[in-house]
């Protein structure tokens, strides 16, 4: 896209924000231009907190479907727009509610904690929602003898088990993006950059997390790079976050962790479906819009409210 068109789209989006009384929320994995035009850029927890407290009439969500759906669950009276309805998530897509209900039935007496990366139907049969920012904190607040199912990300679940010392029954889901990082290639990279700190999202496989100097949600990784005395980082998460790292500390070096093959598969194909053009068009046409049956929304709301209260 030429700079002239990009600048034009930016001012069109700004004008539409005013016209619609809209708030534009963007996740750290969005392309840089979208992050720069957003009113708020954050991780899943921060974005749901912003959605819970906004007084805008329209929420435009530059993220993936489960994020916009969470905003709708919290704001039934507001219009929630998502630039591309096909922006899914491998975790949400591989945990269908009917199969998950069977899984829960196989483990009676368990409290069900579901990562926010799941559908409204899965949320509706969960007891508490969590994000990578608060998963440890939420598990720690439950009585020590409480039996827990954790879904749908097995790697995050295993990391939470390690942090809390609590056994969790894990749904075997994973993120297609965080699974591509190669422990072998990170080790080779680290040998060439011995001063670099390896930072990783807990959705990465255990072999990658074992190499990390710091593990955390996207916002925790950003905070770490800002506060650390180190000046070089190997970043094992979706490289969209590097835009904010560079904005905060342009003098530091951020090296995207290498995937197993030479592909660009460390970029989330779902997050990257959103573009400035689609963002502009969804605001102009006021669609695609997130819609939810009211009974499902009400059931999905409860575990989200428990999360917000426990965060
Ligand atoms: P965060 O909540 O850490 O931003 O994670 C969202 C996500 O989808 C990670 O892949
Ligand atoms: Fe889902 Fe992974 Fe994309 Fe996050 S990076 S939205 S977990 S597919």
**CATH number (domain holding residue 116):** 3.40.50.10800
- Please give the distance, rounded to the nearest whole angstrom, from the Cα atom of residue 27 to the centre of ligand 1: 8
**Percentage helix, strand, coil for the chain under 3-state DSSP, each rounded to 5:** 45, 15, 35
Residue 48 lies in a domain: yes
Q: Identify any residues that bridge with 151 across adjacent strands, giving them in sequence order.
A: 114
Query: In terms of domains, do 159 and 121 share one?
Result: yes
| Ligand 1 binding residues, C-beta < 6 A | 28, 43-44, 117, 131-133, 175, 201, 203, 217-218
In short, whether 41's Cβ falls inside 6 Å of ligand 2 is no
Q: Is residue 23 part of a domain?
A: yes
pLDDT attached to residue 200:
98
266 part of a folded domain: no
Distances (CA, A) of 260 to 33, 182, 192: 28, 5, 18
Which ligand sits closest to the CA of 89? 2
Q: Are residues 287 and 238 in the same domain?
A: no
Using an 8 Å Cβ cutoff, are 227 and 247 in contact?
no
Q: Which residues pair with 198 in a beta bridge?
A: 234
Report the pLDDT value the prediction gives residue 91, as an integer from 0 to 100.
98
Which of ligand 1's atoms lies nearest the C-alpha of 27?
A: 4
**Given phi > 0 = left and psi -120 to 50 = alpha, else beta, which region is 286?**
left
Instruction: Answer whether residue 264 is part of any domain.
Output: no
- Whether residues 46 and 77 share a domain: the answer is yes
- pLDDT at res. 5: 53
CB 73 within 8 A of CB 297: yes
pLDDT confidence of residue 99: 98
Per-residue pLDDT, 7: 56
CA of 8 to the centre of ligand 1 (A): 30
Between the CA of 19 and the centroid of ligand 2 the distance, in Å, is 32
Distances (CA, A) of 83 to 65, 73, 145, 218, 273: 10, 18, 44, 22, 8
Return the ligand 2 atom nearest residue 63 CA. Answer: 6
- Distance separating alpha carbons of residues 113 and 210, to the nearest angstrom: 24
User: Same structural domain for residues 11 and 154?
Assistant: no
Task: Say if residue 95 is in the same domain as residue 84.
Answer: no
- Distance from the CA of 132 to the center of ligand 1, in angstroms? 7
**Is 271 near ligand 2, meaning CB less than 6 Å away?**
yes
Closest-approaching ligand to the CA atom of 267: 2
Domain interval for residue 81:
3-88+271-291
The helix or strand, by DSSP H or E, that contains position 79, with its residue range, turns out to be strand 79-81
CB of residue 156 inside a 6 A radius of ligand 2:
no
CA of 98 to the centre of ligand 1 (A): 24
Q: Please list the pLDDT of the chain residue by residue as tens digits (311 residues).
A: 555 555 599 999 999 999 999 999 999 999 999 999 999 999 999 999 999 999 999 999 999 999 999 999 999 999 999 999 999 999 999 999 999 999 999 999 999 999 999 999 999 999 999 999 999 999 999 999 999 999 999 999 999 999 999 999 999 999 999 999 989 999 999 999 999 999 999 999 999 999 999 999 999 999 999 999 999 999 999 999 999 999 999 999 999 998 877 777 899 999 999 999 999 999 999 999 999 999 999 999 999 999 999 99
CB 199 within 8 A of CB 213: yes
Residue 304 sits in the same domain as residue 238: no
The helices-and-strands tally (H runs, E runs) of the chain is 15, 12
In a domain, 263, yes or no: no
Point out the ligand 1 atom lying closest to the alpha carbon of residue 117.
8
Distance between Cα 131 and ligand 2 center (Å): 12
Please indicate, yes or no, whether residues 160 and 306 belong to a single structural domain of this protein.
yes
Is 262 part of any domain?
A: no
Q: Is residue 282 part of a domain?
A: yes
What is the H or E stretch that residue 86 is in? Answer: none
Can you tell me whether residue 191 is helix, strand or coil? helix
Q: Is residue 202 part of a domain?
A: yes
CA of 48, nearest ligand number: 1
- Ligand (nearest to CA of 95): 2
Compute the distance between CA of residue 99 and CA of residue 261 in angstroms, rounded to an integer: 32
- Is the beta carbon of 91 within 6 A of some atom in ligand 2? yes
Give the nearest ligand 1 atom to 45 CA.
Answer: 2
Q: What total of structural domains would you count in the chain?
A: 3
Q: Is the pTM of this model over 0.75?
A: yes
């Amino acid at each position: 896209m030429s700079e002239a068109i990009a600048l034009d789209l930016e001012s069109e989006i700004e004008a539409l924000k005013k016209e619609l009384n809209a708030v534009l929320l963007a996740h750290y994995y969005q392309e840089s231009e979208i992050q720069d035009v957003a009113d708020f850029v954050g991780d899943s927890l921060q974005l749901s907190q912003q959605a819970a407290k906004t007084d805008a009439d329209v929420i435009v969500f530059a993220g993936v479907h489960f994020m916009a759906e969470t905003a709708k669950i919290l704001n039934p009276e507001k219009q929630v727009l998502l630039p591309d309805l096909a922006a899914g998530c491998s975790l949400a897509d591989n945990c269908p509610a009917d199969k998950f209900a069977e899984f829960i039935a196989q483990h009676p007496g368990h409290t069900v904690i579901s990562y926010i990366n799941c559908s409204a139907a899965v949320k509706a049969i969960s007891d508490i929602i969590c994000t990578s920012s608060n998963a440890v904190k939420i598990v720690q607040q439950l009585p020590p003898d409480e039996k827990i199912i954790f879904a749908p990300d097995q790697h995050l679940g295993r990391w939470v088990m390690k942090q809390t010392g609590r056994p969790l029954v894990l749904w075997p889901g994973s993120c297609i993006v965080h699974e591509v990082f190669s422990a072998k290639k990170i080790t080779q990279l680290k040998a060439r950059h011995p001063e670099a700190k390896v930072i990783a999202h807990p959705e990465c496989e255990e072999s990658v997390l074992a190499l990390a100097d710091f593990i955390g949600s996207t916002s925790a990784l950003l905070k770490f790079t800002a506060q650390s005395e180190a000046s070089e980082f190997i970043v094992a998460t979706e490289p969209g976050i590097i835009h904010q790292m560079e904005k905060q500390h342009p003098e530091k070096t951020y090296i995207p962790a290498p995937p197993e093959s030479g592909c660009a598969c460390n970029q989330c194909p779902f997050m990257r479906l959103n573009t400035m053009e689609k963002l502009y068009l969804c605001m102009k046409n006021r669609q695609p819009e997130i819609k939810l049956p009211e009974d499902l929304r009400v059931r999905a709301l409860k575990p989200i409210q428990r999360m917000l209260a426990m965060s």
